[in-house]
A = this chain, B = another copy of it.
Amino acid sequence: MTEPFVIVGGDAAGMSAASKAKREAPDRDVIVFEKGEWVSYAACGMPYYIKGEVDDLEDLVAVTPEEFREERDVDLRTGHEVVAIDPEAKTVTVETDGERFEQPYGDLLIATGARAIEPPFDGFDLEGVFTLRSMNEADAIEDYVDDRGPETAAIVGGGYVGVEMAEALTERGIDVSIFEMLPQTLQPFGEETARVVEDHLREQGVDLHLETAVQGFDGDEVVETVALEDSSVAADLVVVGVGVAPNVSLAAEAGIELGPTDAIATDEYGRTNYDDVYAAGDCAEATNVVTGEPDHVPLALTANRAGRAIGSTVTGDPTPTGPTAGTAIVKAFELGAARTGVIDPERAREAGFDPVSVTIEAPTRPHYYPGATELTVTLVADRESERVLGASIVGHEGTKRIDTIATALSSELTVPELQELDLAYAPPFSPVWDPVLTAAKVLNGKLEG
């Protein structure tokens, strides 16, 4: 008898793997151990719950535990924490209600996710200071806003969480400040896109402090101020969103190798250094489609896709988890900002490229058609090979055009090839030359010139 497919962690990667494995091999036992109570939830939706656009936190749950158990026949055990892996004996040690037991596995998937980074700020334990990574934290912030009616909020970090929470809390009538250590917000999107977003954040009333290090938080049980280097700013609510770190200690203690990004190293099938141990999602590395090197991209599609592929692989259909382009999109009030590939010139050079880039503005529709807005497109290519390396797009509509460039990256298209694409045109949808093509034309001119 084949031992069960055991999965550690019941979110995107874990539950995708469980569902796919049961679909492909209904007779194979699939056991998921999740230490919390929430499974398969859309963490990306949490800011919109706090904003008030999603009524019920449970709406963010894609598939309920009952559905997994009853409809998909997955042996899902919430409140069960895996505390040790023995990859030689092929067992995991599980703790629940203070009891421990050993569970043998045939294949194991580590899908332990990532946690919010908590810098050693003074006063992190004051009431009113939050990170936003779990459903319980989303619930706590929402309760705090409802119960305490904070008038001012400080957001530490100008990344995805920072930008999305600025929108959510402003919508709740709170005066929002963002504190970012770097000279720009949304670092992975490049400077040009960040500038457009930053102007828009300020227009929306957000008090934006770049190159500003937070020292800690002060207050009497409840947070009252944010301490900066030589001043302090009032804040009735603090959300710290300075990035995430992969949860790898369980794996590392078992001798499972980490990669250069400190996430779990995997091959193209999501396999670790043990043949029957896989890792996927926010705790694992993936191969960057541009550099060919290991990358840590803790995003939802990467996790879902890798989990699903591993579900196929362990049931007899070896399926690559797929490379990552680091494609991402974020809403900032009325703007969308999107990115894919390698944008940062330093990172491009480290990967052996000689990056050349242009930033253009182009309308989303012809001048004569009502409602056109400007898109700002940044396109990066390698000088010698002319290969497209990455792009960023920001504007009021049409930023999903980033998918065109993400697709081009997967095929290693050059700028002249990108410029030749036959993209859709009609006045209600695009100018004749789609903004992506316009950026390619301009970059091509620069490469030739």
Contacts and interface: CB of A to CB of B under 8 A. Distances in A.
B429 A336 contact: yes
A407 B42 CA distance: 29
A240 to B, nearest CB: 21
Interface in A20-34: none
Given A45-B369, A331-B426, 6 more contacts: A48-B428, A59-B367, A299-B425, A328-B426, A338-B424, A402-B424
A304 B436 CA distance: 15
Contact of A413 (B42, B411, B448): B411
Interface in A90-112: none
A366 interface: yes
A384 to B, nearest CB: 19
Interface size band for A: 35 or more
Contacts of A403: 401, 403-404, 421, 423-424, 434, 436
A425 B322 contact: no
A338 B401 CA distance: 15
Contacts of A366: 42, 45, 62
Contact of A302 (B317, B368, B422): B422
A369 B164 CA distance: 14
A19 interface: no
A315 interface: no
Interface of A: 12, 42, 44-45, 48, 53-54, 59-60, 62, 289, 299-302, 304-305, 317, 320, 322-331, 336, 338, 340, 366-370, 398-404, 406-408, 410-411, 413, 417, 420-430, 432-434, 436, 448
Contacts of A48: 368-369, 427-428
7 contacts: A44-B427, A53-B370, A60-B368, A289-B422, A302-B422, A336-B429, A407-B407
Nearest to A328: B424
Closest 7 CB pairs of A and B: A411-B411, A322-B420, A329-B424, A59-B368, A325-B422, A407-B407, A331-B428
